[in-house]
Structure 1
Amino acid sequence: MQVFVYGTLTDPEQVAALLGDGPGAYEFVGPAMLEGFQRVDGRYPTLLPGARVEGELLAVDEPALERLDRYEGVDRGLYVRVSVPKADGGSAAVYVGNPAQLGVAADGAWADEGSFGDAVRSYILRENTVVRSHE
């Protein structure tokens, strides 16, 4: 599976510290762009609806993905992991932080569609959000 990363996980040293002692395997695939979102900084970086954000694609196996989920606080509602289509086929996982949890002003950024995760997924579909690998 590929994960689009845009914050601390773009730093190879940070990823090695997090995932390098196993279980799980990872590999940097290369630079990429996420269209339809913009990066904003609060307690931690997150994404809001917007133009585009530069980042990296990281290939991970299931144990590494589970470690990333723990790191991103998915179980605590800090971030949600969503699937975004890739322009060249397939999809990439993307972690989107909950603005209320991260101290980010997001007035009207997410439609009230139930849970935060549902609002993000609905936006991705509605706005044809896509991850593009840099060639």
Structure 2
Amino acid sequence: MAVFVYGTLTDPERAATVLGDGLQYEFVGRATLEGLHRVDGRYPTLAPGGSVDGRLLAVDDAGLERLDRYEGIESGLYVRVAVPATSGVRDDRCWVYVGEPDRLDVDGTWPGSGPFRDCVQRVVSRRAVVVRRTE
């Protein structure tokens, strides 16, 4: 499965540290996430509007579980959402990690109320958010 990475995991050495130890993974190209833009803080995250360049990382289920731990999914630091992907991406969707702005001490506003995951999912499902391979 494909994961769009736009921060520390774009670095091959960091990805090897997180995903090493026998897990199958590979960078499969550069991509642009349209409809969300990068916001920098303690760790990078995303906010509605604009676009951000990154890389596509192909992982298996074990790799996705390791990425979830790295991104702090269980503690609510980041959420993982499925974003539609265009041709050139192995699947018709791509996973994207979005950090909770308050927890990362960044200025990133998400419309709506309720749990952060729900706010992100509503934006992704209602706006033109898509991952496009660029090479």
Specify the alignment match of 1:39 in structure 2. Answer: 38
The one-letter code of the counterpart of 2:107 is A
- Segments of structure 1 that go 5 or more residues without pairing to the other structure are none
The one-letter code of the counterpart of 1:71 is Y
Query: Which string of whole-angstrom CA distances, capped at 9 and with x for unpartnered residues, describes residues 72-120 of structure 1?
Result: 00000000000000022610000000001000122xx212331101100
Query: Which string of whole-angstrom CA distances, capped at 9 and with x for unpartnered residues, describes residues 114-133 of structure 1?
Result: 11011001001111200000
What is the aligned residue count? 132
Query: Which string of whole-angstrom CA distances, capped at 9 and with x for unpartnered residues, describes residues 34-83 of structure 1?
Result: 00011011110000112100000000000010000000000000000000
CA distance in 1, matches of 2:36, 2:6: 11
CA distance in 1, matches of 2:48, 2:26: 28
1:56 maps onto 2:55 in alignment:
yes
Query: Which shifted more, 11-20 or 90-99?
Result: 11-20
The one-letter code of the counterpart of 1:51 is G
CA distance in 1, matches of 2:112, 2:73: 20
CA distance in 2, matches of 1:91, 1:43: 28
Specify the alignment match of 1:95 in structure 2. Answer: 97
Specify the alignment match of 1:15 in structure 2. Answer: 15
4+ runs deviating over 6 angstroms: none
2:13 match: secondary structure = helix
- State the TM-score, normalized to the length of structure 1: 0.94
The one-letter code of the counterpart of 1:38 is H
The one-letter code of the counterpart of 2:36 is F
1:71 maps onto 2:73 in alignment:
no
- State the TM-score, normalized to the length of structure 2: 0.94
1:118 match: secondary structure = helix
2:3 match: secondary structure = strand
- Segments of structure 2 that go 5 or more residues without pairing to the other structure are none
Specify the alignment match of 1:105 in structure 2. Answer: 107
Specify the alignment match of 2:132 in structure 1. Answer: 132
